[in-house]
């Protein structure tokens, strides 16, 4: 396994983390102006070094600002007016200032349309403008957030940029990236060349992301319930609670689920910790909804009732104000004497600041991604269109879509973009031996593929060389990744294994044991089920409701997330939207799982020195003990 260094941290399910986005621009190209009614602008080869833009004080969301930039003077040349003059040396250049502006665009997931998010102000008639405007962005680890930065020279008072792209001379260049790409870069600082002008060097843009300070608060609370409704015919109830944050558009977003307390109407749940941003998005009076369910093994949990509260109310701690009636609206409508379905009481409430996911990522933590693909015969003959492995020249199959959806997001947090790709359940050439841990590229010594495209190419090639067989064993690939995770437990690396499968697992006992052992390591597992098979066993491995155990030993952490791909297929055939929804759900728990590992081991993020500063003696000492 490759050796990369760094740190990592947890982001809550739908947690949006505010960041400062710092924009730097270097070496914009110079320009020449020739006499014309409008002084048309053309790009020359003179460098225009720009000073860095930096950002301002913490705010609730991600703040994007361009604070300063320094421009080299432009030169004004007079072209020859006659043949004789053209042979003369040109007059000396005259300094000419720029009026630059940087415009940020974000891209919609469904429409793919670019929408202007914000722009810097224009500083008139200066070669050394200072920008102070800030912009706020929400950061979601589990989403691919596409960004576009356009740079213009604004030589008019019109704010309408549509007038400037029509004049190519006003356009200085652009760059495309994702927010995750910026966050996942060393020290969350990304440098990319500006492009967009054919045949011209447009300079360089440097982007830096910084998390805002008030994202660090985490609320820890504990609840109990009293006299909940009895839902089980042969027992009492197995209650658990689900918490939702209300959104401005009237929808709700899940932010936490408690454990299940078996066979009781008076449960006392373990204390739960939820980032304040995930709980109320910074609005202390925003409604928080809690639903109480009776857990059922088949997943058809029985609704007991619900109540609402707010962060402000919860912050009062244990008091008469934090005893809530659990109400089932349907029962209340049908029964005149209905009062409630029990009560829930807040036992304790505390708030403290913690290290965040971005602290670890910025400190250098690398997230290593490994994929394991099911090559068992139940997938069907790959040459037949009914096979789950069928390679349609016009459309990706479910395996490829799941791989691309998850991998394209995680790859932003791995510096070298080289990923091991494994297969299991196939007979390998030349002797037809069954393997549950073979490299897709055929190279046992070096199973790494270059980026997502490299993995897809290796996957397509494997379908031509191996014979689909069986059975469906997960334990070998889980143990494969766990072996490497066990070798690096200092917080510098975190491992994510994606298993894509179509069928019922054959080695459940061995897989449970492998997962319980892996839960002690810096590792998470994502399982995506494709096809129409029943995935009851996968739900058990997920451990959201009941923590997985093996030989009487509980897993230290919940590290498995399972989803069936069919639940995300868009009825209109919009596979881009399907992939975005899938990635959002399977990746949402990774930051939290990473944070829990770091916290359980007492690992703090590595503090990097500020840009352009040499590390001090203390930093050098720390570097010797914590590789970054």
Q: Along the chain (628 residues), what's the average pLDDT of each consecutive run of 10 residues? A: 37 36 44 31 29 30 40 32 27 56 85 86 63 73 90 68 54 88 87 84 79 78 95 85 88 91 95 89 90 90 95 94 95 91 96 88 92 96 95 91 91 91 96 96 95 96 95 97 97 96 92 97 96 85 85 93 87 78 88 93 76 39 31
- CA dihedral 268→273→275→276, nearest 10 degrees, is 50
Burial 34-67 (b: 16+ CB within 10 A, else e): eeeeeeebebeebebebbbbbbeeebbbbbbbbb
Query: Could you tell me the two tokens for 357?
Result: 């996911």
State how far the Cα of 301 lies from the Cα of 292, in Å rounded to an integer: 10
- Burial (CB < 10 A; 0-12, 13-18, 19+), residue 575, is middle
State how far the Cα of 182 lies from the Cα of 190, in Å rounded to an integer: 5
Query: Could you tell me the two tokens for 96?
Result: 């000419």
**Which residue in the block uniquely carries the two structure tokens 């399910």?**
13
Prior bond of 75 cis (ω within 30°)? no
Q: What pLDDT is attached to residue 354?
A: 81
Short-list 302, 299, 287, CA closest to 243: 287
Q: What pLDDT is attached to residue 160?
A: 62
State how far the Cα of 494 lies from the Cα of 484, in Å rounded to an integer: 10
Query: Could you tell me the two tokens for 374?
Result: 């099911």
State how far the Cα of 592 lies from the Cα of 561, in Å rounded to an integer: 12
Q: What pLDDT is attached to residue 19?
A: 44
**Contact between 559 and 515 (Cβ < 8 Å):** yes
Structural domains of the chain, with CATH: 17-214 (2.60.40.150), 217-353 (2.60.40.150), 369-600 (3.40.50.410)
**Which residue in the block uniquely carries the two structure tokens 């990319």?**
192
State how far the Cα of 306 lies from the Cα of 519, in Å rounded to an integer: 33
State how far the Cα of 429 lies from the Cα of 469, in Å rounded to an integer: 13
């Amino acid at each position: 396994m490759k050796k990369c260094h760094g740190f990592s941290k947890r982001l809550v399910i739908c947690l949006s983390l505010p960041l400062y986005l710092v924009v730097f621009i270097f070496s914009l190209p110079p320009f020449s102006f020739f006499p014309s009614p409008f002084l048309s602008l053309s790009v020359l080869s003179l460098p225009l070094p720009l000073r860095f833009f930096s950002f301002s004080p913490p705010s609730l969301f991600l703040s994007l600002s361009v604070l300063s930039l320094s421009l080299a003077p432009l030169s004004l040349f007079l072209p020859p007016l006659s043949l004789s003059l053209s042979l003369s040396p040109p007059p000396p250049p005259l300094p000419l200032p720029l009026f630059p502006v940087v415009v940020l665009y974000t891209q919609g997931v469904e429409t793919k349309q670019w929408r202007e998010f914000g722009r810097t102000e224009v500083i008139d008639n200066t070669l050394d403008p200072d920008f102070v405007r800030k912009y706020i962005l929400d950061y979601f680890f589990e989403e691919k957030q596409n960004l576009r930065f356009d740079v213009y020279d604004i030589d008019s008072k019109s704010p309408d940029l549509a007038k400037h792209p029509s004049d190519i001379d006003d356009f200085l260049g652009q760059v495309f990236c994702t927010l995750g790409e910026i966050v996942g870069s060393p020290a969350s600082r990304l440098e990319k060349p500006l492009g967009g002008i054919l045949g011209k060097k447009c300079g360089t843009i440097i982007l830096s992301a910084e998390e805002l300070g008030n994202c660090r608060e985490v609320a820890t609370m504990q609840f109990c319930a009293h006299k909940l409704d009895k839902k089980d015919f042969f027992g009492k109830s197995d209650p658990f609670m689900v918490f939702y944050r209300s959104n401005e558009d009237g929808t709700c977003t899940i932010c936490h689920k408690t454990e299940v307390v078996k066979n009781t109407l008076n449960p006392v749940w373990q204390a739960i910790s939820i980032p304040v941003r995930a709980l109320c998005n910074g609005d202390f009076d925003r409604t928080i909804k809690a639903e109480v369910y009776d857990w059922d093994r088949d997943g058809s949990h029985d609704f007991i009732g619900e109540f609402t509260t707010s962060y402000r109310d919860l912050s009062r701690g244990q008091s008469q104000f934090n005893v809530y009636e659990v109400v089932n609206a349907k029962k209340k409508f049908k029964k005149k004497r209905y009062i409630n379905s029990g009560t829930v009481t807040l036992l304790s409430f505390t708030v403290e600041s913690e290290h965040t996911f971005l602290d670890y990522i910025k400190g250098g933590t690398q997230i290593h991604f490994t994929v394991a693909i099911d090559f068992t015969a139940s997938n069907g003959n790959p040459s037949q269109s009914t096979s789950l492995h069928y390679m349609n020249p016009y459309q990706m199959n479910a395996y490829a879509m799941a791989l691309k959806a998850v991998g394209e997001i995680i790859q932003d947090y791995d510096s070298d973009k080289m990923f091991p790709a494994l297969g299991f359940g196939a007979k390998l050439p030349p002797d037809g031996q069954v393997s549950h841990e073979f490299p897709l590229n055929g190279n046992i010594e070096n199973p790494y593929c270059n980026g997502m495209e490299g993995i897809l190419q290796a996957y397509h090639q494997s379908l031509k060389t191996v014979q689909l067989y069986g059975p469906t064993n997960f334990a070998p690939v889980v143990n494969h990744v766990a072996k490497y995770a066990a070798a690096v437990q200092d917080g510098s690396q975190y491992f994510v294994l994606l298993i894509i499968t179509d069928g019922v697992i054959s080695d459940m006992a061995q897989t449970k044991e492998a997962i319980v052992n892996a839960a002690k390591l810096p590792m998470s597992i994502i399982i995506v089920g494709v096809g129409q098979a029943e995935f009851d066993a996968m739900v058990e491995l997920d451990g959201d409701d009941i923590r997985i155990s093996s030989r009487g030993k509980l897993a230290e952490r919940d590290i498995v997330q399972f989803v069936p791909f069919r639940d995300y297929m868009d009825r209109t055939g919009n596979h881009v939207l399907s992939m975005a929804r899938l990635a959002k759900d399977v990746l949402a728990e990774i930051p939290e799982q990473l944070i829990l590992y770091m916290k359980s081991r007492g690992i703090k993020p590595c503090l990097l020195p500020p840009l352009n500063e040499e590390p001090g003696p203390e930093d050098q000492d720390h570097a010797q003990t914590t590789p970054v």
